Chain A
């Protein structure tokens, strides 16, 4: 159980285009989803936290208008990189948390990641 998928796994696009990445929890309902970015040889950096039905909370330094996050259902969150530029090339990883009521800590389950290359 607790499987999270991401689509696409790899995308190459031209500078100036927008790219949408989907994150799905396949066998549980995710009240909270997280988006991370990982540059080569670096750690995962949290970009934003999204709760189903509400606006995402972005980390400091992450542009809200550039990285649009939608969490419209309990099993799907999308990250849209708008007007992508070469510096946005990175590995994007999502995670999903079931948000179990009464749980002290809700574990995150990670997707396989999406490698974005902007030419």
Chain B
């Protein structure tokens, strides 16, 4: 069985603050993929990043960065200098070779206030 936990249900920050969204996962497989998606009010899932279990290198893309640590089974997402347009629900998800399904966390509602 696989599981994704996003303990933060809602986060509210003021524009230009940095914010980190936590994600902890569980899987028995050694080969797996982790994802982050953004879901704005329109509802469409926006793909942000995919990370495979063999690549622990952290990644930065503009104001977004991801910290993957297998030792703590975490795949945290940081937004630097947040903007109002970053307001959305963010989902962390996991798929593995044996599960063949995508398991989603419960999501974190991020609100960035002007």
In whole Å, how far is B68's beta carbon from the nearest beta carbon of chain A? 16
A95 — which chain B residues lie within 8 A by C-beta? 102
Known: A105-B31, A108-B102. A44 touches B44 (CB 8 A): no
In whole Å, how far is A41's beta carbon from the nearest beta carbon of chain B? 8
Which of the four size classes fits the interface of chain B? 20 to 34
A42 to B9, CA, bound (A): 10
B102 — which chain A residues lie within 8 A by C-beta? 34, 46, 95, 108
In whole Å, how far is B103's beta carbon from the nearest beta carbon of chain A? 8
Q: Which of A43, A107, A115 contacts B91 (CB 8 A)?
A: A43
A115 to B47, CA, bound (A): 20
A105 — which chain B residues lie within 8 A by C-beta? 31-33, 52, 95-97
13 example contacts (A-B, Cβ-Cβ < 8 A) are as follows: A34-B102, A38-B43, A42-B106, A43-B91, A104-B97, A105-B31, A105-B33, A105-B95, A105-B96, A106-B100, A107-B33, A108-B102, A112-B43
Instruction: Report B's interface with A, CB cutoff 8 A.
Output: 31-33, 37, 42-45, 47, 50, 52, 91, 95-97, 100-102, 104-107, 109
